[in-house]
Amino acid sequence: MPKVKVEWNKCNGCGTCVDSCPASVFELQDLKDYPDSKKSMAVRADDCILCITCVALCATGAITVEE
């Protein structure tokens, strides 16, 4: 099962991962520790197909995916 991790301190909430993921792994959500912007969450990590599109397109390097 893939391990999808988002480092919220790096995530700028742009939504590129949400828009580009073919498996709809990500959603932008409000987190109490980051009240100024939404952050990406891997809410369906089990659906990840290991295409690594999110990693390649994340401008801040906030996403990692491991097998």
Q: What CATH number corresponds to the domain at position 24? A: 3.30.70.20
Give this prediction's pTM: 0.92
**Owning domain of residue 13:** 3-66
Please tell me which residue, 1 or 51, carries the higher pLDDT value.
51
Catalogue the E-assigned strands of 1-67: 3-6, 26-31, 34-42, 63-66
Structure confidence by residue, pLDDT tens digits, 11-23? 999 999 999 999 9
As for how many domains the chain has, the answer is: 1
Q: Are 12 and 60 in contact (CB under 8 A)?
A: yes
The H-assigned helical ranges of the chain are 16-20, 53-57
